Amino acid sequence: MNKLIERFTLKIKRAETPFYAALKRFAQNIISGNLPLPRFLYPLLRLVFSLQRAIRNSFQWAVTFFFRSPLFRSRCESVGKGLRLTCLPEINGHVKIWIGDNVNFFGVVGIYSGAILDEPKLIFGNRVDIGHNVQFVVNREIVFEDDVNVATGARFMDSDAHPRDTAERIADRPPHPDEIKPVRICRYAWIGQNSFILKGVTIGEGAIIGVNSVVVTDIPPYSVAMGNPARVVVKNLARPSEAPVKPD
């Protein structure tokens, strides 16, 4: 029976005869078709659409307020006021986490640490925004100062997750502690989508990291860096005190 069905389906896909070609067109029309909607139903359907969004958002808020936020805050060393979560962050390891005021996690966040050092630290200052699908690999220390923005898909690693020595890698040994170097993202910095910030890097105050960049060296303040490896392409961006005043 299965072979007969597979053979019949194959004939339709190939449109071997006018009959099978007609069946293929019919199937394509069914798959790509839409239910006809009279115009007078549009106001009612818009109301239903808004209601389902409101119900969904209310449910998500309740889950976060009563479940996600309490669990995550209990896992942290300290959490300031105004923490906003969309999903419960995934935490694997013994990393210690400090969070300042008005920090936002806009989606799935992964926080991972190994057993190399006793007290790996992940520190967020005030008003830090973390996008969706951002990951932190923390074995020593990663620090985000105030007002940092991190876009979707960024990665932060303070180690290579394996030793440089070939024999030690073959033996499946962890990195040596000397190879684990802290990462610091200074205030006002903006980390672009899908960027990788690797061990020992300091992103200077107000610096911008372009999309898909791999940062392996320090980036000076108020500059733009991009590429793999990331290189500075713009220097001397306007500082906050130099920003133009918006008209009333």
Comparing 167 with 157, which gets the higher pLDDT?
Answer: 157
pLDDT at 87 exceeding the cut of 90 = yes
- What pLDDT does residue 248 have? 42
Give the residue-averaged pLDDT of 220-245: 86
- What pLDDT does residue 242 have? 58
pLDDT digits (tens, 9 = 90+) for 164-175: 878 888 887 888
Q: Which of these ranges, 27-31, 37-41, 87-91, 224-228, has the smallest mean pLDDT?
A: 27-31
Q: Computed over its alpha carbons, how large is the radius of gyration of the chain?
A: 26
The most confident of 10-14, 31-35, 143-147, by mean pLDDT: 143-147
pLDDT at 245 exceeding the cut of 60 = no
- Within a 13 Å sphere around the CA of 103, how many CA atoms are in the beta-carbon half? 24
Comparing 166 with 68, which gets the higher pLDDT?
Answer: 68
Give the residue-averaged pLDDT of 227-242: 89
Give the residue-averaged pLDDT of 201-224: 97
Give the residue-averaged pLDDT of 200-214: 97
Q: What topology does CATH give the domain 80-237?
A: UDP N-Acetylglucosamine Acyltransferase; domain 1 (2.160.10)
pLDDT at 162 exceeding the cut of 90 = no
- What pLDDT does residue 72 have? 96
Q: Where are the beta strands (DSSP E) in 49-189?
A: 78-79, 84-85, 90-92, 96-99, 104-105, 109-112, 121-124, 129-130, 134-137, 141-144, 149-150, 155-157, 183-185
- What pLDDT does residue 244 have? 52
Average pLDDT of the chain to the nearest whole number: 91
CB 118 within 8 A of CB 140: no
- What pLDDT does residue 246 have? 47
Tokens in use for 21? 């070609």
128/147 Cα distance (integer angstroms): 5
pLDDT at 218 exceeding the cut of 50 = yes
Q: Which of these ranges, 91-95, 132-136, 168-172, 185-189, has the smallest mean pLDDT?
A: 168-172
- What pLDDT does residue 23 have? 86
